[in-house]
A and B are shown apart, each in its own frame.
Chain A
Amino acid sequence: MKLSITALRRQLFASPLDGLITLLLLACSGWLLALLGHWVLALANWKVVASNLPLYLMGLYPAAAYWRPLVLMACLVLLAVLTLLSPRLPRLAVFRWLQRLLPWLWLLALPLGFWLLSGGLGLDPVRTRQWGGLTLTLVVTAGSALLALPLGVLLALGRRSPYPLVHHSSSFYVELIRAVPLISVLFFGQLLIPLFLPSGWTIDRVLRAVLSFAFFAAAYVAEDVRGGLQALPPTQREAAHALGLSVVQTVGLVLLPQALRIALPALTNQLVGLVQNTSLLAILGAVELLGISRSILANPQFIGRYLEVYVWLGVLYWLICTTMTLIARQLEARLGAGAGSPSSG
């Protein structure tokens, strides 16, 4: 990526008009950067971020157990860095082992994280009501993504089912959910679900949030997976049939793995969207990352410091979403490289 002076000139000043545009853009972005730099270094008061850092990261989690979400987040950061670096690591046996282990480590992080947060098995139990901030954002994202994927696959298969009843009810569900705004689904999940339960029954609030996101995202996942299924040539099915595979084997071993691989980029976008959408819980009073920030802004000590808070949140969300996109691109590249015969899916 080395640019010589002449190449740069050709890229930026090819014609007088081009040159003018370049200069104008340079001036504009330079001005904005200078403004931003001045604000960040001279005008902003970062006390609102610094003195509330535990709240942003962990919400109302008991202070004595702060190390637990912190360990979890450190693990996630380490895993993310390792995953992103893994293609560039020197070709040593240790690293090759690591590469093979990485997917399992990611899978392991989920139960481990859940155990760390909720306690039990030797750790003091911590109720979900005490979860908050970034921790809650991550929990809701991970939980709903895990649920939405199988649900979405079921719906996609349902839409392509030969049974009219199954086909139509899945279609109805997918179309209905895709037609309504997320905030109304969340409103339903947070405030109306209890009206539909027998008296005395309750579902944990965090679980309800996870379920609402999962049921919402599942409709979108279903469309992506359906797109993947449609992209497969009919010969795949015929070949599987000729091999004597049963219906379930054909779907599970032949069609789905390929369809999911095709749908992977779209699914990644859904995941990134999911992280961002968790911020809507703030409108309904949950204390996830954005919600807790709004509470902090209401503290008389920090009133009016919203620009600092919004910039800090923006950077945090941006880092998380970008990291996730990069990891997913790497996964796509790795799966794309192995495209040929579907491995045991």
Chain B
Amino acid sequence: MPVSTSNPGADHVSRRTTRNLPPGPTPWRSWLLQGLFGLLLLALIGLLLSNLQVNLLRTGQGLGFGWLVQPAGFELSEHWLPYLPGDSYAWALLVGFVNSLRVVGLGLVASTLVGVVAGSASFSTNLLLRQLAFGYVAMVRNVPLLLQLLFWYFVVFLGLSSTPQVWLGGLLSLSNQGVEVLGQRWSVEFGALLAGLTLFTGAYIAEVVRGGITSVPRGQWEAARSLGLGDNVKALRLVVLPQALPAILPGLASQYINLAKNSTLAIAVGYADIYAVSDTTITQTGRAIEGFLVLLLSFLLLDLLISGLMQLLNRMVLRRR
């Protein structure tokens, strides 16, 4: 997350130098201009809000959040938290939020794995592996995620046979009724969303990782080899990647946030995430503005969670060095 200046009262001169913009006008003009700007901003917001009020009054609805405690009355196909149609809208939204958290959480881990492997593979001595890694990134990054998700769901996952096919000695079982990984049972909607998000974000993370590895001087590879870490994979894992980490982490953080935001496309494949639940809620209650605000708030919360997590990670990396 970009840092904004936290101290508005700091003296102008030093801030101007750090921001390398030319010096501004004299103080009184500065205040006058700012006052004008602020007034305009306020007037615009006021105008919009008064329009909103007029429009809402005309259709007989004010603003309010009383509907949150009314029973939702709709079914949710999957939920981590206990949920019945008789529960309140507020609870249904919370269930949707937790569903979002679940796909984002697993997506973070999986896409990082894919990204690191694909990013490292582009440094392989094996020509084919290298080209495949490039091909994967070039293909996935140039096709819309929504289209990829539709493909994963309607073509791949629903195209599976209805009798479970067991892979890897029972670790993975696939059918179009559900996916079982390591004993965990997922719906195919969840599986398709996770697969689509993981491969899409993985391609972007691969670029971030590649950039990070490129930033490590060539000499480090050679040093690792001379230390006896002859195997390329070993050199990468023990010497190069740890050094690339500080360059990788900021890029990783923004990709994680993108993943969280992209998870709202769940609505296209029938997974009950926070966007899908608030969409249904808005339709049933007619509370578009309020539902929209709830959605915004939950995303701000999700972003806070992820950036908090990344800061923690950053601190851990710095401490280890």
Contact surface of A with B, Cβ cutoff 8 Å: 8, 11-12, 14, 18, 21-22, 25-26, 29, 157, 159-169, 171, 175, 178-184, 187-188, 191-192, 194-199, 223, 226, 229-230, 232-234, 236-237, 240-241, 247, 250-251, 255, 272, 276-277, 279-280, 282-283, 290, 306-307, 310, 313-314, 317-318, 321-322, 325
B143:A314 contact, CB within 8 angstroms: yes
**CB-CB < 8 A to B268: which residues of A?**
283
* Stretch of B53-61, B91-99, B112-120 lying at the A interface: B53-61
The distance from the CB of A210 to the nearest CB of chain B, in whole angstroms, is 18
Dominant secondary structure of chain B at its interface with chain A: helix
A163:B30 contact, CB within 8 angstroms: yes
User: Given that A234-B17, A306-B150, A321-B142 are known contacts, is A196 also in contact with B4, CB under 8 Å in the complex?
Assistant: no
Q: When chains A and B are docked, how far (Å) is the Cα of A236 from the Cα of B21? A: 10
**CB-CB < 8 A to A181: which residues of B?**
260-262, 264, 275, 299
**CB-CB < 8 A to B145: which residues of A?**
276
The distance from the CB of A48 to the nearest CB of chain B, in whole angstroms, is 14
Q: When chains A and B are docked, how far (Å) is the Cα of A251 from the Cα of B22? A: 8
Q: When chains A and B are docked, how far (Å) is the Cα of A182 from the Cα of B145? A: 13
**CB-CB < 8 A to A230: which residues of B?**
20
The distance from the CB of B296 to the nearest CB of chain A, in whole angstroms, is 6
**CB-CB < 8 A to B129: which residues of A?**
21-22, 25
B128:A26 contact, CB within 8 angstroms: yes
Instruction: Give the A-B pair count, Cβ closer than 8 A.
Output: 180
**CB-CB < 8 A to B166: which residues of A?**
none
The distance from the CB of B101 to the nearest CB of chain A, in whole angstroms, is 14
User: Given that A162-B12, A241-B22, A310-B155 are known contacts, is A184 also in contact with B144, CB under 8 Å in the complex?
Assistant: no
The distance from the CB of B90 to the nearest CB of chain A, in whole angstroms, is 19
The distance from the CB of A109 to the nearest CB of chain B, in whole angstroms, is 22
**CB-CB < 8 A to B8: which residues of A?**
164, 168
**CB-CB < 8 A to B127: which residues of A?**
8, 11-12
B33 within 8 A of A: yes
- Which of B34, B143, B265 lies in contact with A164, CB distance below 8 A? B34
User: Given that A162-B16, A283-B146, A318-B143 are known contacts, is A18 also in contact with B125, CB under 8 Å in the complex?
Assistant: yes
B138:A322 contact, CB within 8 angstroms: yes
User: Given that A12-B127, A160-B19, A192-B292 are known contacts, is A272 also in contact with B52, CB under 8 Å in the complex?
Assistant: no
Q: When chains A and B are docked, how far (Å) is the Cα of A91 from the Cα of B37? A: 54
B34:A166 contact, CB within 8 angstroms: yes
B147:A313 contact, CB within 8 angstroms: yes
B24 within 8 A of A: yes
**CB-CB < 8 A to A255: which residues of B?**
20-21
Q: When chains A and B are docked, how far (Å) is the Cα of A194 from the Cα of B142? A: 33
**CB-CB < 8 A to B300: which residues of A?**
179-180
B184 within 8 A of A: no
B20:A29 contact, CB within 8 angstroms: no
Q: When chains A and B are docked, how far (Å) is the Cα of A290 from the Cα of B41? A: 37
A162:B17 contact, CB within 8 angstroms: no
Give 5 nearest A-B pairs by CB, closest first. Answer: A321-B142, A11-B127, A181-B261, A276-B144, A279-B144
Q: When chains A and B are docked, how far (Å) is the Cα of A233 from the Cα of B17? A: 11
B303 within 8 A of A: yes
B224 within 8 A of A: no
B51 within 8 A of A: yes
A250:B261 contact, CB within 8 angstroms: no
Which residue of the partner chain A has the closest CB to B150?
A310
A314:B288 contact, CB within 8 angstroms: no
Which residue of the partner chain A has the closest CB to B21?
A160
**Chain B residues numbered 267-321 whose CB sits less than 8 Å from any CB in chain A:** 267-268, 275, 288-289, 292, 295-296, 299-300, 303
B154 within 8 A of A: yes
Which residue of the partner chain B has the closest CB to A15?
B125
**CB-CB < 8 A to B38: which residues of A?**
165
A29:B48 contact, CB within 8 angstroms: no
**CB-CB < 8 A to A195: which residues of B?**
51-52, 55-56, 288-289
- Which of A175, A196, A306, A317 lies in contact with B51, CB distance below 8 A? A196
Q: When chains A and B are docked, how far (Å) is the Cα of A237 from the Cα of B142? A: 38
A317:B143 contact, CB within 8 angstroms: yes
B288:A191 contact, CB within 8 angstroms: yes
The distance from the CB of A288 to the nearest CB of chain B, in whole angstroms, is 11
User: Given that A163-B33, A165-B37, A279-B144 are known contacts, is A11 also in contact with B22, CB under 8 Å in the complex?
Assistant: no
**CB-CB < 8 A to A241: which residues of B?**
22-23
Task: List 22 interface pairs A-B (beta carbons < 8 Å), by A numbering.
Answer: A11-B125, A29-B132, A161-B24, A164-B34, A168-B4, A181-B261, A184-B275, A191-B288, A195-B51, A195-B56, A196-B51, A196-B52, A197-B51, A234-B17, A237-B22, A247-B24, A279-B144, A290-B147, A306-B155, A310-B151, A314-B151, A317-B142
User: Given that A162-B12, A183-B275 are known contacts, is A317 also in contact with B132, CB under 8 Å in the complex?
Assistant: no
**CB-CB < 8 A to B56: which residues of A?**
195
B20:A236 contact, CB within 8 angstroms: yes
Which residue of the partner chain A has the closest CB to B233?
A17
Which residue of the partner chain A has the closest CB to B55?
A195
B126:A18 contact, CB within 8 angstroms: yes
The distance from the CB of A19 to the nearest CB of chain B, in whole angstroms, is 9
- Which of A157, A165, A179, A317 lies in contact with B34, CB distance below 8 A? A165
